Amino acid sequence: MSTYPDNLKYAATHEWVRLEGDGTATVGISNHAQDALGDIVFVELPEVGATIHAKDEVAVVESVKAASDVYSPISGEIIATNATLADAPETVNAVPYDGGWFYKIQISEEQELDELMDADMYSDHCEDG
C-alpha cells in the first residue's frame, strides 16, 4: 500500500478524500495520521443525514496515546458511515485508505476540492512536519 495514493486528495489536517464520480466522496485519515496516533481504540463517527461544513470537527479518534479530532475536508451531507470501525477500530491502522474509511458524503461545494492537496503536495506537507 502506498503511503500517499495518487487517486486521493488530502487536507492539511491529514484527512483524505476519494471522489466516487457520482457527486459523492469517501473520507478517511491518512497513513501519516494513523501512524502518528498509534493504536486506535475508538472512533466516534458523525450521524448519517447530518449536514456538515468543511473544517467542522466531524469525528474523534481515540488512540492509546491521545484523542484527536477529525475535520471534514469538504461540505455536504453524510450518507454513510463505516460500521466496521465500532468493533474493529484497528482497521484504521491496518488499512487507512481502504477498509479504514470513516464516512461517505454527498458533496455540496465542489469548489472546496480545489483547496485540497494532491499526493505530491501532501507528501511534502508531511515531511515538513
- Side-chain half-sphere CA neighbours of 39 within 13 A: 3
**Is 24 among the residues that bind another protein (CB under 8 A)?**
no
Q: Which amino acid is at 117?
A: M
Shortest Å distance, C-beta 105 to another protein: 23
111/68 Cα distance (integer angstroms): 27
Shortest Å distance, C-beta 26 to another protein: 23
Asked whether the beta carbons of 46 and 58 are under 8 A apart, the reply is yes
Beta carbon nearer to another protein, 1 or 21: 1
114/94 Cα distance (integer angstroms): 29
Beta carbon nearer to another protein, 43 or 117: 43
Which x/- pattern, by CB under 8 A, does the window 52-91 give for another protein?
A: --------x-x-xxxx----------------------x-
Shortest Å distance, C-beta 120 to another protein: 25
Distances (CA, A) of 73 to 1, 3, 14, 41: 22, 19, 9, 23
Beta carbon nearer to another protein, 64 or 111: 64
Task: Specify the long-range contacts of residues 18-22, CB closer than 8 Å, at least 24 apart.
Answer: 18/97, 19/113, 20/104
Shortest Å distance, C-beta 85 to another protein: 11
Contact positions toward another protein, by CB under 8 A?
38-39, 41-42, 44, 60, 62, 64-67, 90, 93
